[in-house]
Chain A
Amino acid sequence: MSSATPTLADYDHAIETFDPVLGLEVHVELGTATKMFCGCSTAFGAPPNTQVCPVCLALPGAMPVVNATAVEYAVRIGLALHCSIASWCRFARKNYFYPDMPKNFQTSQYDEPIAVNGYLDVQVDGETVRVEIERAHMEEDTGKSTHVGGLTGRIHGAEYSLLDYNRAGVPLVEIVTKPITGTKASAPAVARAYVAALRDLLLSLEVSDVRMDQGSLRCDANVSLTPAGNPVFGTRTETKNVNSLRSVERAVRHEICRQAAVLEAGGRIVQETRHFDESTGTTSPGRSKETAEDYRYFPEPDLVPLAPAPEWVEGIRASLPELPWLRRARLQQEWGLSDLEMRDLVAADAVGLVEATVDAGAPADQARSWWSAYLGQQANSRGVSLAELPITPQQVARVVALVAAGTLSAKLARQVVDGVLAGEGDPDEVVAARGLAVVSDDSALQQAVDQALAAAPDVADRIRSGRVQAVGAVVGAVMKATRGQADAARVRELVFSTLGVQA
């Protein structure tokens, strides 16, 4: 890798010359209330070192106890990925010194993981790609180091480091793919689609909030290149902590171009950990793995082996929710949407919102229309996701119902939604507070009609004489008097009946 080497090859050229091989390791923080081996809370964002105890601080004498819910979640994940669930498995200690790991070993699983040999089918450009899963295993998260001073924000060169152990011991499941081969030019898209599908799946399993921005789903992307047609894998690099779907795609693409440039210049790829820089879309070298650390794994003697009972595993299998892609296909059919319409809903993360709105009683077309049109614009202009808008599917469904009942016109409905978004309460409260209901009370309307007719006797005469189109002027006057809240059709009927005219 001399400095004369062009740093990046052209992507199309790289793909013609080399076959990319991917390996994806995804860490998921489980959404259990408590940590993997103690009773401390896992809530995100608490003041530093307030969610700690003798166990997760590794005080002398403290001992771990396995969180049964975390095991259940790991089994759910394994089953949803079509893995075999081990009838007997153990935790192991992964020994290495690092200040954010209180015991200086991580309690993980090594050669006896809870789930092995599965797959996940993902859709890439309308094609199904099967990504094979090597294993899913349980482990615990580390604490968080903040390195202060120095240039890189890394431990070396820092003036001092701050340690927060709130995250230490939070349950993780690590999902490791087998090498993903044969993807050619779509390798970056496959990587992204895999992580996206996994995220969807984990969300539907209700085992994690899968917030990539908060680190509850983290992806490490292994990339290697092998000369086109060569069955022997090349040396791989591992790009750590790629924290958005877009970054997964960019990081893989960047590594393909970078490695191709190195190889074409006659260089060799160094097996190393690399860091992805979101701002530049590039990776830079981290710790070299040439002198691979020896983790001195051995079975965790403080924990008894786990032997999930077959009946228990089958019970979990039976309770698995509908897989997200099957659910989407069903909903698309039920709602009568085209592929494109469905894809737009998926892209906007609106499927669940629309479904909940339908469940609350709204017709599918109107539920979809609200979320993809008016609410979509509102979310865009506020720079938030649909789910983050301060309106619930139940509230949207209520607005739809008020329109259907004739209480609201389309224009008033949008004003009611604005009121809900502004925090003025439920739709009915907004209607009452803003006085927005269409006036459908005949006595109030009749009074307005009588007043309008009295104010314009000539128009009344003209209508009586059969020039029915003159009714428009009376309706206009009533609408003005009711500040647009009257139902125009009903006003028209009342004008004719008052004047004894057959419409």
Chain B
Amino acid sequence: MTAAGATPDLPADLTRASAADLAAGIAGGTVSAVEVAQAHLDRIAAVDPGDRGVHAFLHVSGDLALEQAAAVDAARAAGRTAASPLAGVPLALKDIVVQQGAPATAGSRILEGWMPPYDATVTTRLLEAGVVILGKTNLDEFAMGSSTENSAYGPSRNPWDLDRIPGGSGGGSAAALAAFEAPLAIGTDTGGSIRQPAAVTGTVGAKPTYGGVSRYGVIALASSLDQVGPCARTVLDTALLHEVIAGHDPRDSTSIPEPVPSVVDAVHRGRADGVAGMRIGVVRELGGEGYQPGVLDSFRAAVAALEAAGAEIVEVSCPHFRYGLAAYYLILPSECSSNLARFDAMRYGLRVEPAAGQPVSAETVMSATRGAGFGAEVKRRIILGTYALSAGYYDAYYGSAQKVRTLIKGDFDQAFGAAGGGAGCDVLVSPASPVTAFRLGEKVDDPLAMYLNDLATIPGSLAGIPAMSVPSGLAADTGLPVGLQIMAPALGEAAMYRVASAFETLYVAEHGSTVPLSVPELVVNP
């Protein structure tokens, strides 16, 4: 990072630069936005396609991206001030956020070829900020999964080991960052789909407070849980992107009508002041059984580093977290069974005629289309949700799950609150993912094992609080990245980013570079 106004020294390979440095270079005239976009498009062409390519992207919008970049360069040439601190920087957009001019699939066959006629609010904000959208990234179908193996278009690969998963559902966005195909990415997080991919790819990903970023134009999985968030390779880049996309949107009535927390300032504060005087809680229930030893070792080392830097470390107990996974797998399927009802062949997307001999009616066309267009995991969750909402079961399932949600919120209130015996923590920490990246195919036939990947991230989702994953290092047992999860109270993003930034600074001081810069050289399609 360079001081404002100064022109940074950009690496010869522009794809290895941070978003902040690229933006400064573009604003200072060291490099053009078109050159930056082209460098990333070239990188994508080199590492993304092929049998053993990263396959982060489902669609690359080369012409659109170069057009957007040229507009940024033209604005600069005309003497206009940069549209935002990220003007001209390329970004990978998760293919669950709609953008005019690019197909939107949500990773599903049922939407194959659909061209959205409108922009999501997030898309609009990115384009208005001069961010250059390179293309749409891969994901588990409708964001249901933890590995991208549920994508109808094949899995993405983890740049740290191409035989391993990049996490999910936002594995495409995370892999694009780790493979230097883009310095910025957009993810969505329902139960961990930003944080778990960030953890297993050694990148940074933040889930803002529920309602912090508009969901308008984001294809819904579970409306009461879904949240859009920023992803990058550094905490500062993540914060810069956070401020571009966050804020109230009148088209999403669940978006919060409050000012966006000053997360960029918080990052600078974390660098300057560290964590001295902060109270950091370690959640007893997010560790132990089900967590890989190498992950726990890395986590303990991170906590020790924070303590050594002056933070006060306390252990907190959140007894209701153990019911989180069960509650989550009732609420999510219930809402998704309803949200996905619109995919019925009547207005857009796939249309499959009933088998020969069957009568052709609206019902049989809907049924044939949904049968052919949805994958196994999507069908599983639609069936679960339809059952959970049925008359006579609603109270026992959906109703009880909502009560658990309230109890989990209570646990967080207790951990963050100072009154009434509360632990008074500024943030809580845990591993973001219980394990490092597993092998492609390893858990694909075991949905329950797959669900456990979200063990640590689900409580924050149910409570609607902000949470992020920042790399804590490499696991000694696998040599793969581990993510440190930092959770803060609702709208407490500043504390969260401050701790993340402070930790990243400590890590660089000790190891000489950030985790993403230590990824081995990618050899695809040798």
Contacts and interface: CB of A to CB of B under 8 A. Distances in A.
A97 B342 CA distance: 9
B280 to A, nearest CB: 32
B217 A62 contact: yes
A64 interface: yes
Contacts of A156: 361
B398 A58 contact: no
A325 interface: no
Contacts of A155: 361-362
Interface stretch (A273-281, A298-306, A437-445, A484-492): A298-306
A302 B253 contact: yes
A183 interface: no
Given A58-B342, A296-B389, A161 B254 contact: no
Interface string A80-99: 00000000000001010111
Contacts of B254: 301-304
SS class of chain B's interface: helix, strand, loop or mixed? loop
B335 A104 contact: no
A303 B211 CA distance: 11
B366 interface: yes
Interface in A291-313: 294, 296-298, 301-304
Interface stretch (B113-121, B371-379, B449-457): B113-121
B57 interface: no
B253 A104 contact: no
Contact of B253 (A61, A294, A304): A304
A289 to B, nearest CB: 14
SS class of chain A's interface: helix, strand, loop or mixed? loop
Interface residues of B, number: 45
Nearest to B365: A99
A298 B334 contact: yes
A275 B363 CA distance: 22
Interface string A154-184: 0110000101000000000000000000000
A60 B342 contact: yes
A61 B117 contact: no
Contacts of B447: none
A97 B223 contact: no
A380 B220 CA distance: 57
Given A61-B120, A63-B215, A301-B223, A95 B341 contact: yes
Contact of A61 (B217, B250, B361, B394): B217
B251 interface: yes
A54 B220 contact: no
B116 A296 contact: no
Interface in B208-240: 215-220, 222-224
B342 A54 contact: no
Contact of B114 (A60, A63, A161): A60
B253 A303 contact: yes
Interface string B75-115: 00000000000000000000001100000101000010010
27 contacts: A58-B347, A60-B98, A60-B116, A60-B343, A61-B98, A61-B120, A61-B215, A61-B217, A61-B219, A63-B215, A63-B253, A65-B251, A65-B252, A66-B253, A93-B338, A95-B341, A97-B341, A99-B346, A99-B362, A103-B341, A155-B361, A296-B338, A296-B389, A298-B338, A298-B389, A301-B224, A302-B254
Please provide the 9 A-B residue pairs with the shortest distance between their CB atoms, ordered closest to farther. A104-B341, A301-B223, A296-B389, A301-B224, A61-B217, A60-B219, A58-B342, A99-B362, A61-B219
Given A104-B342, A104-B344, A105-B338, 9 more contacts: A60-B220, A61-B220, A64-B253, A65-B252, A65-B253, A98-B362, A104-B341, A161-B362, A303-B253
